[in-house]
Amino acid sequence: MYQIAQPLWSVDFFCMLDISNKMKICKKCNIEKEYNEFSKHRNVCRQCRREESYASRRKKYKARPWTKTFDTAYKRCNAKTHNYFIRGIKFLLSEQDLKFLWQRDSADKLKKPSIDRINPRGNYELDNCRMIELTANIKRKKADRWQTEFF
Ligand SMILES: [Zn+2]
């Protein structure tokens, strides 16, 4: 029996059109949104998921404040465009090490605790790190830059 070949695109094309107009209700905010505002197989919209991840990070930083120092210092050494990564400064601390430094230097009592490398050319290692006031840290950095440029 002779069959007319169905052009494949016709079915797919109309399916796609159909999906693009479909709406879905977010399980979190209960707002009806378009399909493209959801990740694949998710019932919570992208915006709600983003807010959830911010909230969980805030919660983590509040419960274990040294994790914020951990995350920011880790990023400085591992982001390919960051000055520290380019200079080859390595982040060799664990979260436990940071907790130790935090408690040893009573970072809770500082206004803005920040991690300082005692030898500014050294890596983030346990015996080269301490927690100090952010303003003091910035002052140290400026003094070091001045030294490297003029001596
Ligand atoms: Zn939502």
Q: How far apart are CA 29 and CA 52, in angstroms?
A: 12
Distance in Å, CA 20 to ligand 1 centroid: 18
* CA 40 / ligand 1 centre spacing (Å): 14
Q: Are 115 and 73 in contact (CB under 8 A)?
A: yes
Q: What is the pLDDT of residues 72-89, one digit of tens each?
A: 999 999 999 999 999 999
Query: Considering the chain, what is the average pLDDT of its residues?
Result: 88
Q: C-alpha angle with apex 59: 54 to 61, nearest 5 degrees?
A: 95
pTM of the complete model beyond 0.85: no
Q: Where are the domains of the chain?
A: 9-54, 64-150
What is the number of other CB atoms lying within 10 angstroms of the CB of residue 79? 12
Tokens, residue 20: 């693009």
- Ligand 1 centroid to Cα of residue 28, in Å, is 5
Would you state the structure tokens that stand for residue 7, as one six-digit string?
């052009």
